[in-house]
Amino acid sequence: MSFTAKVVTAPKQRSHCLVVAVYEGGKLSPSAQAIEEAGGQLGALCKREGFKGKAGQTLLLLSPTGISAERLLVIGMGKAPVSANDYRKAVDKGLLALKNTACKDLCLCLGEVSVKDRDAQWQARQVAELLGAQQYRFTRFKSSSPDDNFAPSKIVFGCQETSQVNLAKAGLETGAAVAKGVALARELGDLPGNVCTPTYLANEAKQLARGQTKLSVKVLEEKQMKELGMGSLLSVSAGSEEPAKLIVMTYQGGAKSAAPVALVGKGITFDTGGISLKPGQGMDEMKYDMCGAASVLGTMKTLIELQAKINVVAIVAAAENMPDGRATKPGDIVTSMSGQTIEILNTDAEGRLVLCDALTYSARFKPKAVVDVATLTGACVIALGSHATGLYSNEDSLAEALLNAGEEANDRAWRMPLWDEYQKQLDSNFADIANIGGREAGSVTAACFLSRFVKKTPWAHLDVAGTAWRSGANKGATGRPVSLLVQYLLNQR
């Protein structure tokens, strides 16, 4: 797909489909107005079809008079000034309306729409991201391909003024790169546990680095992890035939001397619960328990696409959680790489067990900030549902930066407390710390557990159990929080 931005004169623009905006109440955008004047039918057609310009409303016209494009898609923007949400909704529904067309090249006259607190760069980025999201299909195990034929190859973002062109181009570039990262994260999430194993994730990371000068990948095997004292991580893979992997990706796009941001991903490629076996219903969804890792890999993919000038270290703790004769049992005590001993009261609270050793390991890169991403707790889904990612942090400015990035990227997080009062729920009679904190505040106590393994470094934890995938009829990975992470990292420059 090629993306470009330029100033366009709507009626004269040749394309398979021209997209113009109309506001709620029927007010035409400048391009829609120009088309009305050239063809003299747009206003009347909108009226006849009951098109009122509500956000997300669409009207597709074939071979309209007075314009050079083959089709005209009118999209409702809602009330002016347009909110960021309405704009996204309008673009998303607009693209959806083209699903059964054969349009190959598109021109969207959207630079002229002014969106509250946003600029042409953001507006163009949304187009590329939303289009990318709609093009995603998980077809690897389908014998026949889906029959919708909308597969555009050329996208023009129409600007109103030349001052918008470079901004829009940058937005399209970022959006297309984010879309690729999101697609990778979704693909890895959607892959079944028998294919997407820890070894598969490690190979995927190596694949990403192939031919890249800024990215290098190292994979630690169980033997090396044992030497490092990662008794907690290894207690999770103990019951599995699949060896655990610690995947370390170093992206060096900035100055050698600049401290990196470390990203740490939970990569449980299947979570049966282990000896604390989960109930059978819906257990298939635990193939998504590596979505934190997938988002970290997806983010690296985007950074490569953009050749971003920053330093990032990504660490993926990959393991499979299975019951077995050698599996860890409730009551077992293990020693983590940090030296702290852990009483494993529930083998289903395994995410924190792999993450704690990965967090300890991350310290060797002297990161300026560490952000871990994990489908960590069902409790977080109960607390926040599927709209917001749970955010925990030991540092207000880092929390703020992540919240803002989520807002900007439409991939929102919500801050949760990490107060000392919760810490005592993790007291153990037999070891330094227990791996569960009881029924109350399950998402908070999981974060508290992780906090014990970071010292002075600014650290944040993103619990994406509710946001990284959808259940139900539209079951599938969402690619969240790639967009948030990329935004946060790009804001670092």
List residues with catalytic annotation.
278, 352
Minimum separation from the CB atom of position 254 to Mn ion (A):
36
| Minimal CB distance residue for ligand BES | 378
109 burial class (0-12, 13-18, 19+ CB within 10 angstroms)? buried
58: its two tokens: 């669409």
Q: 62: helix, coil or strand? A: strand
Question: Which of 271, 343, 357, 372 contacts Zn ion by CB under 5 A?
Answer: 271
- Measured over all CA atoms, what is the biggest interatomic distance in the chain, rounded to whole angstroms? 82
- H or E segment and range at residue 139: none
71: its two tokens: 């089709």
Minimum separation from the CB atom of position 460 to ligand BES (A):
19
* Residue 173 near Mn ion by CB under 5 A: no
- Taking the least distance from each CB to Zn ion, the nearer of 76 and 193 is 193
360 burial class (0-12, 13-18, 19+ CB within 10 angstroms)? buried
- Residue 381: name its binding partner from ligand BES, Zn ion, Mn ion, none (Cβ under 5 to 8 Å by kind): ligand BES
For 137: left if phi > 0, alpha if psi spans -120 to 50, otherwise beta; the answer is beta
- Taking the least distance from each CB to Mn ion, the nearer of 312 and 477 is 477
Question: Which of 55, 124, 156, 349 contacts ligand BES by CB under 6 A?
Answer: 349
- Taking the least distance from each CB to ligand BES, the nearer of 20 and 275 is 275
37: its two tokens: 């004047």
The angle formed by the CA atoms of residues 413, 297 and 385, to the nearest 5 degrees, is 25
Complete DSSP assignment for 84-107: HHHHHHHHHHHHHTTTTS---EEE
* Residue 348 near Mn ion by CB under 5 A: yes
* Residue 320 near Mn ion by CB under 5 A: no
- Residue 360: name its binding partner from Mn ion, Zn ion, ligand BES, none (Cβ under 5 to 8 Å by kind): none
User: Quick one: DSSP state of residue 460?
Assistant: E
Question: Which of 171, 292, 442, 481 contacts ligand BES by CB under 6 A?
Answer: 442
Per the CB < 8 A criterion, the answer to whether 478 and 388 are in contact is no
Per the CB < 8 A criterion, the answer to whether 189 and 486 are in contact is no
Question: Which of 114, 346, 386, 428 contacts ligand BES by CB under 6 A?
Answer: 346
* Residue 36 near Zn ion by CB under 5 A: no
* Residue 467 near ligand BES by CB under 6 A: no
Per the CB < 8 A criterion, the answer to whether 332 and 435 are in contact is no
* Residue 386 near ligand BES by CB under 6 A: no
- Taking the least distance from each CB to Zn ion, the nearer of 205 and 268 is 268
* Residue 375 near ligand BES by CB under 6 A: yes
Question: Which of 112, 271, 372, 408 contacts Mn ion by CB under 5 A?
Answer: 271
The residue range among 60-68, 128-136, 194-202, 370-378 that interacts with ligand BES, by the rule CB under 6 A, is: 370-378
Question: Which of 92, 222, 289, 408 contacts ligand BES by CB under 6 A?
Answer: 289
| Residues binding ligand BES: number (CB under 6 A) | 16
* Residue 289 near Zn ion by CB under 5 A: yes
C-alpha–C-alpha distance, residues 305 and 418, integer Å: 35
Which amino acid appears at position 250 of this protein?
T
- Taking the least distance from each CB to ligand BES, the nearer of 282 and 417 is 282
C-alpha–C-alpha distance, residues 276 and 331, integer Å: 11
Residue 72 pairs in a beta bridge with 18, 61
What totals of helices (H) and strands (E) does the chain contain, helices first? 15, 19
The residue range among 53-61, 143-151, 348-356, 431-439 that interacts with Mn ion, by the rule CB under 5 A, is: 348-356
Minimum separation from the CB atom of position 271 to ligand BES (A):
5
| Binding residues vs Zn ion (CB under 5 A) | 268, 271, 289, 351
| Binding residues vs ligand BES (CB under 6 A) | 271, 289, 346, 348-351, 375-379, 381, 436, 442, 465
| Binding residues vs Mn ion (CB under 5 A) | 271, 348, 350
